[in-house]
Amino acid sequence: MTDNITNPLVEEYINKYYKPLNEQLHHLREYAEENHIPIILRETESFLLQLLRWNSPKRILEIGTSMGYSASCFATVCEGSRILTVENNEEIFERAVETIGDLDLSERIHVFLGDAVDVMERLIYKTNVEGLDQFDFIFIDAAKSHYRRFFDVALKLVKDKGMIVCDNALMNGRTVSDTYDRLNKHKTNMTNMREFIDYITTMKGVITTLIPVGDGLTLSIVNKE
């Protein structure tokens, strides 16, 4: 795989030690991989779940549900957590609701149908007016050219000292160099992602670091005081 952002042998070695959380999630991953449905990579899953085990967040928000795979992993390792996840594609949304039901996680994972920014704005209203708690952990994993919009709204929903993680920040290396855009198809996404990374790494009150796991992650800790 020439698209990996890390040495493929290193990745293969690390993933030899990957362990699925349970049989059902194992099947779900295999199904997604066989059908080219986007879900977090194995090494991304291992890394994020380790963060979550360490920190045991109680309230999690996810932008980009797809089949509900990552949300179900988060719910499985964070016992007692509640997860809100947003998906804008109706067909995919319905699949996610069904999958989460089959996994018996519907009580703790709530899937919203709609554009992430619209849904988050409604959540801000609920937070400010109706006293809904803010989130300990926000995972952004949706349309890459909108990360800045997602992040700006996420800032209003995250708790003090909470964390916002963005997936696919390195976009198969294309964020790093134009040479990875061999067919010259991703100019806008590349420009947007580079600007986004400059934006969140220089923002006051936010400490961001880039991690070359999977397709690249940004980890931002938000200090509100």
Q: State the nearest-atom distance from the C-beta of 44 to Mg ion, in Å.
A: 7
Choose among 114, 49, 42: nearest CA to 75. 49
88 binds, among Mg ion, ligand SAH, none (CB under 5 to 8 A by kind): ligand SAH
Q: State the nearest-atom distance from the C-beta of 80 to Mg ion, in Å.
A: 26
Q: State the nearest-atom distance from the C-beta of 66 to ligand SAH, in Å.
A: 3
Token pair recorded at residue 9: 């042998």
32/116 Cα distance (integer angstroms): 22
Measured from the CB atom, is 11 or 167 closer to Mg ion?
167
| Residues at the interface with ligand SAH (CB under 6 A) | 38-40, 64, 66, 69-70, 86-89, 92, 115-116, 141-143, 146
Neighbours of 171 (CB within 10 A): 20
100/131 Cα distance (integer angstroms): 27
Bridge partner list, 163: 137, 221
Q: State the nearest-atom distance from the C-beta of 72 to ligand SAH, in Å.
A: 8
Measured from the CB atom, is 66 or 208 closer to Mg ion?
66
Q: State the nearest-atom distance from the C-beta of 218 to Mg ion, in Å.
A: 12
Residue carrying the six token digits 């988050």: 120
Q: Is 218 left (phi over 0), alpha (psi -120 to 50) or beta?
A: beta
Residue pair 169/218 in contact (Cβ under 8 Å)? The answer is: yes
Measured from the CB atom, is 66 or 192 closer to ligand SAH?
66
Measured from the CB atom, is 118 or 178 closer to ligand SAH?
118
168 binds, among ligand SAH, Mg ion, none (CB under 5 to 8 A by kind): Mg ion
User: Which residue's C-beta sits nearest to ligand SAH?
Assistant: 64
Q: State the nearest-atom distance from the C-beta of 8 to ligand SAH, in Å.
A: 21
Three-state SS at 53: helix
Three-state SS at 204: coil
97 binds, among Mg ion, ligand SAH, none (CB under 5 to 8 A by kind): none
Kind plus residue range of the DSSP H or E element containing 112: strand 109-113
Choose among 153, 67, 77, 66: nearest CA to 108. 77
Measured from the CB atom, is 86 or 197 closer to ligand SAH?
86
Measured from the CB atom, is 156 or 224 closer to ligand SAH?
156
